[in-house]
C-alpha cells in the first residue's frame, strides 16, 4: 500500500540536520532550483544491480515517479556495482549505485570525476540486509554469536572481493574478539553470494556475510547458521551510495535533484513495504529481479534500510575509507570528506519535497 501523507511527511523531520551536515561537505554547484527547472526534460543513465535493495528504483519506475518530474532514467544492469564504476568514470553512465569499497576510495584519491551524493542503503538494526553466517559444523562447535568469533582463527572466510563491505564488517567483528583481520584468517575472495551457500555446504568455507534471503536459504538447507547481523557490528553502517558524475552536477543540477527526490520518496515507500510485506511492492520487485515473490517476502523487513531524507551516513563512509587506508592499506592515499561527497543535490531535493511534493 502507499503511505499516507502524514507518514511520508514524517520522514522530513531530519531535513534540518541534513542541511547542517551538508554545509562544509558539498561543492554546491547550485543552491536552489525553480519550478521551471523541475519541468525541464532530462535523461540520466543509471547503473545498478537487480537486487531487492534496488527496490526503490524499480518501484519508482513502476509507479511513474520519474515521469512526474519529467526525468527519463535509462537503467543499465550489472552483476556487481563495482563493474559500473569504470563506465561512470568514462562518462558512459551518469550515476550508479555502489558499495563503499576500497576501489571506490582508491579512485577518488586519484581524482575520479564523481562524488557520492545520496544514500542507497544502510544497515539499520532490524532492517539491514547483511547477515553473518557460519557453517553448521562451527555452529555445532559453539560459534553461536559474534562474541564467539575468536574460534575462526586460521579459518576460511568468504568475501566477494578484497576491500568489500563484506570484508569491512567481518574484519571489524574479528577485531572485536582481538583477532588481527589481516593475518589471523584466510580470506577467500571472488565468491558470489549464492556460491557462498554452496561452498559452505561443501565444507570449503567456514563463515561469510550473506544477504537476506540467501542466509535463510543456508539455514533451510542446514549448511549454515545465522549468528548475527551487520548492524550488530556497526549500527547504521553505510552499505551503498549513489555516485554521480561531476559533469551532471555542473551542467544538469536539476536532474540530479529530481533523481534524489524520486529516490527519497520511493525509499520511504520501500521501507514501509518492507515493514508490512506489501504484496504490490513484492510483485514489482519480483518482476524486476525475477526472484520468486515468496523469497522476496520472506526476507522482509531485512530488505536494506533507505535513509528517509536520502542522506548517507557520512561518518560511516569515512570510517570505511580510513579502515582501507590505515588498517588494511588497500588505499595508499587518505581521502577527505570533501573529496568523497557532494550533498548539495540531496539537500535541495529535501527542500523541494518539503515545499511541494509532486508524488502525493
Please choose, from the candidates 83, 163, 114, the residue with its C-alpha nearest in 3D space to the C-alpha of residue 340. Answer: 114
Do residues 341 and 25 make contact, with C-beta atoms less than 8 angstroms apart?
yes
Can you give the pLDDT at residue 354?
Answer: 95
Question: What is the rounded average pLDDT of the residues 76-81?
Answer: 80
Q: In whole numbers, what is the pLDDT of the chain averaged over residues?
A: 90
Separation of alpha carbons 306 and 308, rounded Å = 6
Can you give the pLDDT at residue 27?
Answer: 46
Can you give the pLDDT at residue 78?
Answer: 83
Can you give the pLDDT at residue 31?
Answer: 53
Residue with cell 553505510: 238
Residue pLDDT, tens place only, 96-148: 999 999 999 999 999 999 999 999 999 999 999 999 999 999 999 999 999 99
Per the confidence metrics, is the pTM higher than 0.85? yes
Do residues 159 and 187 make contact, with C-beta atoms less than 8 angstroms apart?
yes
For the chain, percent of residues with pLDDT exceeding 90: 82
Helix, strand, or coil here: 43? Answer: strand
Can you give the pLDDT at residue 36?
Answer: 83
Q: Provide the 8-state DSSP code for 36.
A: H
Can you give the pLDDT at residue 83?
Answer: 79
Q: How far is CA 2 from CA 55, 61, 265, 307, in A?
A: 14, 15, 11, 18
Can you give the pLDDT at residue 6?
Answer: 46
Separation of alpha carbons 267 and 306, rounded Å = 5
**130-233 classified as CATH 3.10.20.70:** no
CATH of segment(s) 5-122+237-355: 3.40.190.10
Can you give the pLDDT at residue 35?
Answer: 82
H helices of 42-148, where? 55-62, 65-68, 85-90, 102-109, 136-140
Residue pLDDT, tens place only, 20-41: 333 333 444 555 788 888 889 9
Q: Where residue 181 falls among pLDDT bands split at 50, 70, 90? A: very high
Q: Let me know if the fold of 5-122+237-355 is the same as that of 130-233.
A: yes
Q: Residue ranges per domain, the chain? A: 5-122+237-355, 130-233
Amino acid at each position: 500500500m502507499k503511505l499516507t501523507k502524514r507518514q511520508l511527511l514524517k520522514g522530513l523531520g531530519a531535513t534540518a540536520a541534513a542541511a547542517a551536515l551538508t554545509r562544509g561537505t558539498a561543492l554546491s554547484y547550485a543552491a536552489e532550483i525553480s519550478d521551471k527547472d523541475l519541468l525541464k526534460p532530462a535523461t540520466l543513465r543509471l547503473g545498478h544491480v537487480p537486487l531487492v535493495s534496488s527496490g526503490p528504483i524499480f518501484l519508482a519506475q513502476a509507479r511513474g515517479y520519474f515521469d512526474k518530474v519529467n526525468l527519463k532514467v535509462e537503467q543499465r544492469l550489472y552483476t556487481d556495482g563495482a563493474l559500473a564504476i569504470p563506465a561512470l568514470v568514462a562518462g558512459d553512465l551518469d550515476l550508479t549505485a555502489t558499495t563503499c569499497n576500497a576501489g571506490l576510495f582508491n579512485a577518488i584519491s586519484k581524482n575520479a570525476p564523481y562524488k557520492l551524493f545520496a544514500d542507497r542503503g544502510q544497515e539499520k538494526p532490524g532492517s539491514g540486509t547483511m547477515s553473518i553466517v557460519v557453517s553448521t559444523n562451527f555452529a555445532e562447535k559453539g560459534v553461536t554469536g559474534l562474541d564467539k568469533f575468536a574460534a575462526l582463527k586460521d579459518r576460511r572466510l568468504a568475501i566477494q572481493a578484497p576491500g568489500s563491505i563484506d570484508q569491512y564488517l567481518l574484519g571489524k567483528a574479528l577485531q572485536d574478539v582481538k583477532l588481527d583481520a589481516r593475518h589471523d584468517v584466510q580470506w577467500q575472495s571472488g565468491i558470489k553470494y549464492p556460491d557462498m551457500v554452496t561452498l559452505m555446504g561443501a565444507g570449503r568455507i567456514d563463515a561469510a556475510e550473506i544477504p537476506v534471503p540467501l542466509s535463510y536459504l543456508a539455514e533451510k538447507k542446514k549448511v549454515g547458521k545465522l549468528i548475527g547481523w551487520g548492524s550488530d557490528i556497526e549500527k547504521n553502517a553505510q552499505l551503498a551510495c549513489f555516485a554521480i558524475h561531476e559533469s551532471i552536477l555542473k551542467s544538469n543540477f536539476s536532474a540530479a535533484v529530481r533523481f534524489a527526490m524520486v529516490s527519497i520518496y520511493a525509499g520511504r515507500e520501500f521501507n514501509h513495504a518492507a515493514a508490512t510485506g506489501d504484496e504490490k511492492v513484492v510483485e514489482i520487485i519480483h518482476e524486476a529481479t525475477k526472484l520468486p515473490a515468496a523469497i522476496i517476502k520472506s526476507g522482509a523487513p531485512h530488505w536494506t534500510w533507505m535513509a528517509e531524507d536520502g542522506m548517507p551516513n557520512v561518518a560511516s563512509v569515512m570510517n570505511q575509507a580510513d579502515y582501507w587506508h590505515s588498517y588494511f592499506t588497500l588505499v595508499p592515499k587518505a581521502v577527505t570528506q570533501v573529496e568523497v561527497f557532494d550533498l548539495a543535490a540531496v539537500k535541495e531535493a529535501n527542500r523541494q519535497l518539503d515545499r511541494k511534493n509532486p508524488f502525493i
